[in-house]
C-alpha cells in the first residue's frame, strides 16, 4: 500500500516548497529510486526544472520534463499534465489536488507551507488519504 508523508514547512514562500521538493528528489535519487514530480502548472514545471540544476552547489539530479525524457528516461521526471506510464517508487506532489495515479507509487511526498490556501488544500489531501486508509506521517520542517 502507498505510504504518504506530509512535509510541513515553517515558511510560506512558494520557492521554499520547490527547494524542499528538490531536496526530496535528490535524496531519493541518491537512494536509487525513480521519482516523478507532479507540478501544478507548466510554469512551475519550468521553475523546478531550472531549480534542480542550481538548488545546491556541487549537486546534480538527473532529470527531465516528461515530454523530453526520451527512451531512456532519467531517474527524476517532471510533469504537470502527464501521468507516468507505469508504477513508480516516489511521487512528489506539488499540485493542489491528489493525482489520480498516486496509488501506483510506493511513497508519496506532499509538501505544504504556511500559506493559508496551501494549508487548506493540504488538509483536504490529508483527509482524502486518511479516509481511504493510507498510512500517513507528518514531518515538521524548520520550526
- The predicted-structure confidence for 96-143, as pLDDT tens digits, reads as follows 999 999 999 999 999 999 999 999 999 999 999 999 999 999 999 976
Total tally of structural domains belonging to the chain: 1
The pTM of this model reads 0.94
CATH number for the domain harbouring residue 122: 3.40.50.10110
Range of the domain at 32: 3-141
The 3-class secondary structure across 64-116, one letter per residue, is: EEHHHCCCCCCCEEEECCCCCCCCEEEEEECCCCCCCCHHHEEEEEEEECCCH
Using a pLDDT cut of 70, give the percent of the chain over it: 99
Amino acid at each position: 500500500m502507498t505510504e504518504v508523508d506530509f512535509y510541513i514547512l515553517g515558511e510560506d514562500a512558494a520557492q521554499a516548497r520547490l527547494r524542499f521538493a528538490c531536496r526530496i528528489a535528490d535524496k531519493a535519487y541518491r537512494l536509487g529510486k525513480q521519482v516523478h514530480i507532479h507540478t501544478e502548472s507548466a510554469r512551475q514545471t519550468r521553475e523546478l526544472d531550472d531549480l534542480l540544476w542550481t538548488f545546491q552547489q556541487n549537486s546534480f539530479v538527473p532529470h527531465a520534463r516528461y515530454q523530453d525524457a526520451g527512451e531512456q528516461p532519467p531517474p527524476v521526471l517532471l510533469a504537470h499534465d502527464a501521468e507516468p506510464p507505469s508504477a513508480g517508487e516516489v511521487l512528489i506532489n506539488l499540485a493542489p489536488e491528489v493525482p489520480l495515479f498516486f496509488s501506483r507509487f510506493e511513497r508519496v511526498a506532499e509538501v505544504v507551507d504556511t500559506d493559508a490556501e496551501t494549508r487548506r488544500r493540504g488538509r483536504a489531501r490529508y483527509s482524502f488519504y486518511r479516509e481511504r486508509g493510507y498510512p500517513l506521517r507528518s514531518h515538521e520542517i524548520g520550526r
